[in-house]
Amino acid sequence: MAEPELRPATPADAAAIVAITRELIADGGVYPHTAEMTDDELVGYWFAPKGQLVVALLDGRIAGVYLMKPQWMGRGSHVATASYAVASAARGHGVGEALGRHSIAEARRLGYRAMQFNLVVETNTAAVKLWQKLGFRILATLPGVFRHDVHGHVGAHVMFLEL
């Protein structure tokens, strides 16, 4: 399979991003979003104010997306947070890693001093392994904060990368 091509998202990408997000919702074990959320709410989540939204294309089709934005306002705005999603059919081909590496490079370029993920579900092995591969550390595991469709209340890691 070809290398993913990354570019800034445009409003025309919204439907594809929503379709990927619906897959995550159906999974029930990776993101807090629920099926009750409307497409407009999901678009609002990804196209966030002050956010940087990037899509990855494989063979011309949108295969993944990340959103990076300041973790906090003002005195905490030098820390970035981010969300990532890869279409289920495109997983295991380097798209998530390409998105992760791109976001880290962008965070450095934009002058962020660190990246912090707030809710990496502890049973989400693919994500935990990916972020550890890219240098993130688990700082804490928040007990029972995520209501998993299959496993019930599970913990979630706070993961951190100093830039």
Ligand X SMILES: CC(C)(COP(=O)(O)OP(=O)(O)OC[C@H]1O[C@@H](n2cnc3c(N)ncnc32)[C@H](O)[C@@H]1OP(=O)(O)O)[C@@H](O)C(=O)NCCC(=O)NCCS
Q: What residues line the site for ligand X (CB under 6 A)? A: 24, 30, 84-86, 91-97, 117, 120, 124-127, 129-130, 133
CB of 36 to ligand X, least distance (A): 19
Based on CB atoms, which residue is closest to ligand X, 112 or 127? 127
CB of 53 to ligand X, least distance (A): 15
Based on CB atoms, which residue is closest to ligand X, 55 or 130? 130
Q: Assess contact for 119 and 82: CB atoms under 8 A.
A: no
Residue closest to ligand X when measured from CB atoms: 96
CB of 31 to ligand X, least distance (A): 6
CB of 60 to ligand X, least distance (A): 17
Based on CB atoms, which residue is closest to ligand X, 112 or 128? 128
* Beta strand pairing call for 52-58 and 61-70: antiparallel
Based on CB atoms, which residue is closest to ligand X, 112 or 130? 130
Long-range Cβ pairs for the range 92-98 (8 Å, 24+)? 93/1, 93/4, 93/58, 93/63, 94/3, 94/4, 95/4, 95/56, 95/58, 95/63, 95/64, 96/64, 96/126, 96/130, 97/130, 97/133, 97/134, 98/3, 98/4, 98/6, 98/56, 98/64
